[in-house]
Amino acid sequence: MQLTGIHHLTAISAKPRENLAFYTGLLGMRLVKKTVNQDDVSAYHLFYADGRANPGTDLTFFDFPAAPERRGANSISRTGLRVAGEKALGFWRDRLKAAGGVTGDVIEVDGRLTLPFEDGEGQRLVLVDDGGVDASSPWERSTVPAEHQIRGLGPIVLTVHDLPRTALVLTEVMNMRRVRDYAAHGAQIHVFAMGEAKDENNPATELHVLEDKASPMAGQGAGGVHHVAFRTPDEAQYHAWTQRLNELRVRNSGEIDRFYFRSLYFREPNGILFEIATDGPGFATDEPMETLGEKLALPPFLEPRRSAIEAGLKPIG
């Protein structure tokens, strides 16, 4: 039983209008679902992805009016976004610097070319050359040429106080493999991979973990990450993961139907929220693929409350 990679990552924005402009305008990602947080319907839940809304490409945001994140340990500290090739990274360096944001330089990290940058709220991101390891689904209406578009998520970087406790859960509970270590920015980073060994060196299947015993614990807020989700291909394996967590006495949410996928949440020992999510049914379940994200979508159990929900949301375009 193997997780197959990163499913989605959910972060926090206190400025949903600016968030929408940044991720669809500057980054050229597709808004594939405009819905609400199912646990707090006063907040948008925005999903940005590739042209076909494939699992593994979703960068999502909760619209919470929160103070800025306090950076520190026991948090998801950087989100990888995959692109294809050195030319793409050169395109993005020029595009991001022209926009005036916080942008670094193209450097090699862990044998891959990377470009770190931040969005307007300080969300820490990095573009990573994935070597074209997976097929891509460009969006024809993107502001970015197809060959340079963001292809998906990965790797995801965690910063934790206690590496051995996190490593134990990753390897003994979640069946990841510890595949290598590397040095970056004066620290040692440990790489854990999902899937079969033949799929190694695919950033879409990697979690990178940095141990930092000195920093205070992070405080969640705008510009920070809420949780990361991992892919399981079908409901049979999803149920098997629930059984596994219960047998190992890992506290979890129990199975939750999010309509677009099935979810199972738990916290690793340093407190970071993990989710296991199914690849399907997918975002085209209630909207045509051609018009995804163009109107507010609600799962069936929230549809009777549409008028009240819409009245409580601010228009964001």
pLDDT 10s digits, 183-197: 988 899 999 999 987
Buried b (16+ CB within 10 A) or exposed e, 58-71: bbbbbbbebeebeb
Closest C-alpha to 276, from 190, 169, 191, 178: 169
**Mean per-residue pLDDT, 252-281:** 98
pLDDT value at residue 198: 64
Residue 317 has pLDDT above 80, yes or no: no
Q: What is the mean pLDDT of the chain?
A: 96
**Mean per-residue pLDDT, 141-146:** 98
User: What is the SS3 assignment for 163?
Assistant: helix
pLDDT value at residue 185: 81
pLDDT tens digits along 213-242: 999 999 999 999 999 999 999 999 999 999
d(CA 206, CA 228) in angstroms, rounded, equals 12
pLDDT tens digits along 269-311: 999 999 999 999 999 999 999 999 999 999 999 999 999 999 9
**Mean per-residue pLDDT, 96-100:** 97
d(CA 97, CA 121) in angstroms, rounded, equals 16
State both tokens at 145. Answer: 């040429």
How sure is the predictor about 53, in pLDDT bands with cuts at 50, 70 and 90? very high
The beta strands (E) that lie in 28-133 are given as 30-37, 40-49, 58-63, 75-83, 107-109, 112-118, 124-129
- 149 phi and psi angles, rounded to 5 deg: -65, 155
Q: Are 194 and 142 in contact (CB under 8 A)?
A: no
Max intra-chain CA distance, the chain:
54
pLDDT value at residue 186: 86
d(CA 209, CA 169) in angstroms, rounded, equals 13
pLDDT value at residue 36: 98
Kindly list the strands in the beta sheet with 152-160, ordered across the sheet, starting from the edge strand earlier in the chain.
Answer: 107-109, 112-118, 124-129, 75-83, 152-160, 206-211, 187-193, 177-184
State both tokens at 59. Answer: 């960068």
**Mean per-residue pLDDT, 1-30:** 97
Residue 200 has pLDDT above 90, yes or no: no
Closest C-alpha to 223, from 49, 102, 98: 102
Displacement of CA 98 from its chain's centroid (Å): 25
- The domain 6-311 having CATH identifier 3.30.360.10: the answer here is no
Residue 134 has pLDDT above 80, yes or no: no
d(CA 155, CA 78) in angstroms, rounded, equals 9
Residue 199 has pLDDT above 80, yes or no: no
